[in-house]
Structure 1
Amino acid sequence: MQRQGFIGGNAAISVRVTGGVLLVAHLAFVAWLTLRPLDVPWVTPPNVRPFAGIRADLVLGWAVAARRIAEGLALLAPLGVLLPMAHGRLWSSPLGSLLRTVATGFLVSLGILLLQTGVPGRVPDVDSLLLNTVGVAIAHLAVVPASRTWLRRRSERQQVAALRQEEASQGRTPTFPRVGIAP
């Protein structure tokens, strides 16, 4: 029997497995990108004031600021899609799904930030925590509600088609003439 609210069948399993594999691959790439030591001659102090790094980037110019902001938004943005995909819920509260995904994205970003404190050449930056979390939220809002709606409609069409095919294979339901009541 199918569990309520989950995608059913072999397609669901393949979507969940694909989502899980892509999620693990993306997290491995992010760990490699953000936690490898850097060989630098000096290290700037950590940024613990929100938006101070973004303001400093804007002083350097719009091109530099746009690139750094885009990098911060894009780093963990795939989590906004991969986490719900790996979970596999088709019938889920949009707000609950968004909150779960953003909270998980925030915790992953916080974990990276905390791990960077022990990596030579890496400097923790609270702005990256904020940008990563916003990137997860944007990706989730841009993709997940529309794809869930499309998958629900597709699932309903497939169920209706399966019912029609079953009815057609069984033939018409026999009807019996009305029989009167015996005396």
Structure 2
Amino acid sequence: MQRQGSVGGSAAIRVRVTGGLLLVAHLGLVAWLSLRPLDVPWVMPANLHPFATIRADLALGGLEAARRIGEGLGLLAPLGVLLPMAHGRLRASLVPSLMRTVAAGVLISLGIALLQTGVPGRVVDVDALLLNTAGVALAHLAVVPAGRFRLRRRAERRQHTAVRQEEPAQGRTPTIPRVGIAPWSDALPPSSP
């Protein structure tokens, strides 16, 4: 049974499979980037104060600040597109879809932060969690509504074309000859003598 609002038929399967494969590939890349040990002589303490690292990055100014903040925003940003793609719904409301995607982004980012506590050279940074979540939300808002709109229009066009092709060419409407009224003698039962 097909879920209401999902892409129809084989297109749904293609979108979901592609989204799922890209999602797994992206999460593998994120795990490799975030959870490999670093060989550093010393490690900064964990940052549990929101916006402290962001302020320090902004104090650097220029390209270095943009690079560091951009890395935080970009790390999990593809999840904002890949999670709805793996779900495969075309007719989903923007706010619930955004909330589901951001919640999944927060949980994945939090999971990475917790796993980093056991990796040498890595520390927990609450600002990374904030930037990762903001990246997921921005990517979702920038791509998913427009993408869903385009896919809906394409599916409607295909459906409309398929309906027109299925309609047989109509000829003349058949007519039924009129039947006259039967005489009363045929309608009455035979009389007995």
Which residue in 2 is equivalent to 1:53? Answer: 53
3-state SS of paired residue (2:132): helix
Match of 2:29 in 1: 29
Query: What 5-or-longer segments of structure 1 have no aligned partner?
Result: none
The verdict on how the C-alpha distance between 1:100 and 1:182 changes in structure 2, with shifts beyond 3 A counting, is farther
1:34-183 matches, cutoff 5 A: 34-167=34-167, 170-172=168-170, 175-177=173-175, 180=178, 182-183=180-181
Deviation at 1:8, TM superposition (A): 1.3
> Which structure 2 segments of 5+ residues have no match?
182-193
Task: Give the residue type in structure 2 aligned to 1:30.
Answer: V
**What is the alpha-carbon distance in structure 1 between the residues aligned to residue 70 and residue 172 of structure 2?**
66
What's 2:185 paired with? none
Q: Return the letter of the residue paired with 1:177.
A: T
What is the one-letter code of the residue matched to 1:123? V
- Give 2:142's aligned amino acid: A
Identity %: 70
Distance in 1 separating the partners of 2:95 and 2:180: 63
What is the CA deviation profile of residues 42-66 of structure 1, one whole-angstrom value per residue up to 9, with x for unaligned ones? 1111000000001111222232211
- One-letter amino acid of the counterpart of residue 157, structure 1: R
Structure with greater proportional helix content: 1
- State the alpha-carbon separation in 1 of the partners of residues 68 and 179 from structure 2: 86
SS in 1 for 2:41: coil
Deviations 1:135-161 (CA, angstroms, capped at 9, x unpaired): 000000010000100111111111111
Q: C-alpha distance in 2, partners of 1:109/1:31?
A: 11
Give the TM-score, by structure 1 length.
Answer: 0.93
The change in CA–CA distance for 1:173 and 1:147 in structure 2 (over 3 A counts) is: farther
Instruction: Give secondary structure in 1 for the equivalent of 2:55.
Output: helix
For the residues of structure 1 that align with 2:69 and 2:124, how far apart are their CA atoms? 16
3-state secondary structure, aligned to 2:66: helix
Bigger shift: 2-11 or 48-57?
Answer: 2-11
* Large movers: runs of 4+ above 4 Å: 178-182
Q: Which has the larger radius of gyration?
A: 2
How far 1:9 sits from its partner (Å)?
A: 1.9
The CA distance in 2 between the partners of 1:182 and 1:9, in whole Å, is: 53
The superposition leaves residues 70-89 of structure 1 with CA deviations (integer Å, 9 ceiling, x where unpaired) of 00000000000000111100
Q: CA deviation at 1:93?
A: 1.0
